[in-house]
């Protein structure tokens, strides 16, 4: 209440702590969550307790619960949302809680809300295409793709999409290889374009609006030529996320270790694609 009074009038709305108390505990909303149909908000632990009470009285497994405020039937509680991901707690416990992102997957998803060019000096994209490095297999690619797809699609089983994309990339490389035997040199610019177009086309039905960024991220990862751990390390360092602002809830132990690391914030970095090769 006090918070509301202080913020009152200024039109300031901070999602999650907008001052409305939880209707169950009447206290400030902790770990706010909302029901999937009527969108009424409660503390996650409060509504979970209530669901437990209702379920314990029912003779069989419930699939929905009535909202304590409006009695609308709801099938799940949405919680732990941060603007790019959320978790879903189903009333029917036979439906698993769905796929819950790991800390690493959350970090990748968060990356999609940043500018992408800050690792440009790590991943020398131009050189990657010029030296036709894409023809050499990258043994970390599958693991990297899996995590990326899981984060973007918020699904555990991404095998179909994963193998589809890998297949597209492999057949692309094969074609280039064959062409290379015939011609002396193939223009790296067209290779790059072709590659990105092909992968975009293959990924778009699954990733939709995030496809272009995904292909850029894929290119950056491939061009970096690093394993996932090393790449993540640099990526996070550039983002300044290995410090206090680490994503995910339980990162205290990590923070303790990395506390004394130099804090480097992201500075937008303009990447010039024409490398001075001479």
**Cβ atoms within 10 Å, residue 180:** 14
- Taking the least distance from each CB to another protein, the nearer of 16 and 27 is 27
Distance CA 44, CA 29 (A): 9
Q: Are 127 and 134 in contact (CB under 8 A)?
A: no
d(CA 210, CA 148) in angstroms, rounded, equals: 11
Q: Write the interaction track for another protein spanning residues 28-57; mark x where CB under 8 A is met and - where it is not.
A: ------------------x--xx--x----
Closest to another protein by CB, 55 or 132 = 55
* Rounded Cα–Cα distance for residues 35 and 248 (Å): 22
Q: By CB under 8 A, name the one of 3, 18, 23, 228 that touches another protein.
A: 23
Is residue 19 part of the contact set for another protein (CB under 8 A)?
no
Asked if 86 interacts with another protein (CB under 8 A), we say no
Identify which of residues 68 and 225 has a Cβ nearer to another protein in the complex: 68
| All residues at 6 or more sequence positions from 162 whose CB lies less than 8 Å from its CB, including other chains | 142, 145, 146, 149
The stretch among 6-14, 65-73, 160-168, 252-260 that binds another protein (CB under 8 A) is: 65-73
Does residue 24 belong to the site contacting another protein (CB under 8 A)? yes
User: How many Å apart are CA 156 and CA 149, to the nearest integer?
Assistant: 9
Name the token pair of 69: 């405020």
> Residue 48 or residue 164: which is nearer to another protein going by CB?
48
Binding residues among 143-162 for another protein as defined by CB under 8 A: none
Near another protein by CB under 8 A, which window of 22-30, 76-84, 170-178, 179-187?
A: 22-30
Which residue in 215, 186, 185, 182 sits closest to 199, CA to CA?
215
Binding site for another protein (CB under 8 A): 21, 23-27, 46, 49-50, 53, 66, 68-69, 71
């Amino acid at each position: 209440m006090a918070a509301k009074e202080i913020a009152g009038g200024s039109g300031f709305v901070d999602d999650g702590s907008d001052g409305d108390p939880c209707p169950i505990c009447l206290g400030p909303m902790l770990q706010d969550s909302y029901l999937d149909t009527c969108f009424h908000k409660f503390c996650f632990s409060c509504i979970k307790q209530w669901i437990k009470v209702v379920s314990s009285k029912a003779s069989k497994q419930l699939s929905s619960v009535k909202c304590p405020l409006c009695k609308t039937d709801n099938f799940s509680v949405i919680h732990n949302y941060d603007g790019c991901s959320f978790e879903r707690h189903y009333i029917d416990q036979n439906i698993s809680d769905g796929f819950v992102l790991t800390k690493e997957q959350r970090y990748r998803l968060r990356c999609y809300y940043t500018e992408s060019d800050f690792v440009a000096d790590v991943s020398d994209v131009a050189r990657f295409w010029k030296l036709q490095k894409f023809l050499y297999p990258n043994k970390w690619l599958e693991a990297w793709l899996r995590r990326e797809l899981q984060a973007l699609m918020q699904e555990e089983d991404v095998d179909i999409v994963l193998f589809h994309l890998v297949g597209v990339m492999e057949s692309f490389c094969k074609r280039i290889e064959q062409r290379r035997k015939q011609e002396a040199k193939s223009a790296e610019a067209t290779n790059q374009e072709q590659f990105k177009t092909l992968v975009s086309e293959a990924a778009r039905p699954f990733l939709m609006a995030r496809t272009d960024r995904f292909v850029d991220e894929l290119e950056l990862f491939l061009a970096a030529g690093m394993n996932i751990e090393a790449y993540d390390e640099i990526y996070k360092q550039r983002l300044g996320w290995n410090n206090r602002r680490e994503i995910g809830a339980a990162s205290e132990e990590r923070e303790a270790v990395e506390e004394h690391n130099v804090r480097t914030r992201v500075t937008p970095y303009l990447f010039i694609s024409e490398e001075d090769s001479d």
